[in-house]
Structure 1
Amino acid sequence: MTIRDIVLIALFAAIIVAFGLVPVIPVAGLPVPITLQNLAVMLAGAILGPRRGAAATALVMLLVAIGLPVLSGGRGGLGMLLGPSGGFLFGFIAGAFVIGWLAARFARVRGPAWKENGLSILACIAGGIGVCYAMGIPWLALATGLPLEKAALGALVFLPGDLAKAVVAGLVARGVRRVYPIPLK
C-alpha cells in the first residue's frame, strides 16, 4: 500500500463522514433512517476501486465501533453496528468492494458515453443497492423480529432514493475518473 493509497482511503473516509452531516430522514415503522452516506460509499467504491473503496468504508465503521459520532444524525458506537442498521452498515463495506470490482471491469469497456455511464451506474446499483440490501434486510428482520417479507417490503421505501443516488454516483465517478484518472485498486 502506497502513501497515495492511504491518503485516498483517508480522504474518502472523511467524505463518507462529511455526508453524515446531512440530517437523517426517519422512516415511519422502521428503525433505519434514510441517509446520504450510502451515496458517499458508492462514490468511494466507484472512484477508488474494490480494495481502497472497501478500506475507506471499513475505516468509517472502525470509527463507529470505537464510539465516534460519524454516522448521520451524530450516531456512533458499537450499538449502531449491532442494531437494526448494522447489516446495512456492514453492507457498505461489501458494497463498496463490489462497486469497485465491477467499476474496474467496466472501465475496460470503451464505447459511447451513454454506455460507459450506464455501466458505471450499474456498478453502483449492484453494489450500493443489491449487496447492501442483501445484507441489511435479513439483519433488520433479525434485529427487529419482523418477518423477512415485512422487512423487505419496508425497505422498498429506500429504493427510489437509492436509485437516484446510484445514478449520481455513477455519473460523478465516471466524470472524476475521466478528469483525474485513479487506478481502480
Structure 2
Amino acid sequence: MMTHHPYDHHFNGNEWFVIGMIIGGLGLIYFLPKMYPLLTTLFFLLMGPYLGLVFDHTLAVLPLDLYDVGDSPGYSLFDLLSYTMYAPFGYIFIYFYEKLYIKGQATVIYIIIWSLMAILLEWMCVKVGIFRYKNGYKLFYSIPVYFFVESLLLLLYLKFFKIKPRNHN
C-alpha cells in the first residue's frame, strides 16, 4: 500500500529529497574517472530530464492523468527542477555498462537491474510525496516504461556515441 501524502505548499521532505538526489548523483559523476567527451556527457545528463518530462507529460496529464508530480496537481518551478534529479542516471547507466563490459544477453539482465533500481527510486519518490498516483495507477505499471527508456538510452548510445574500434586491414 502506498503512503498518501496530502498536497502541501511548504518546502519540506520532498524538496530536500530532490536536492539530495541531484547533489548525490552529480557528486558521483564528478568523482568518477572521466570516460566521455563533453558532448557525450551532456547528452546523457540531458536525456534523463528530457525522457522524464516526455513520459510525465504523456502519463500525468489529460487524457490519462495517472499521477501528479510535486506539491499540487499543477506544475511549479520546483517540479521542473525535480526532473534534474534524473540527469545523473543516464550517465551512470552508460558509464557502468562500459566499465563492466556488458555485452550480449547480459545487456538484458543489466537493463532489468536498472529498471528495478528505477522502480525503487520511484517508490521512494511516492513515499516522500514527489509522486501521487491517481486513477488506478500502480508502481508496477512503471516497469515497462523504465525498461523502454533504458533500452532506448542504450540504443542511442550504441548508435551515435560508442567509439567503435578501428579495423586494421
TM range (shorter): 0.3 to 0.5
> More helix by proportion, 1 or 2?
1
Query: TM-score w.r.t. structure 2 length?
Result: 0.47
Instruction: Work out which structure has the larger RCO, using CA pairs closer than 8 Å and 6 or more positions apart in sequence.
Output: 2
Q: Please say which structure displays the higher CA radius of gyration.
A: 2
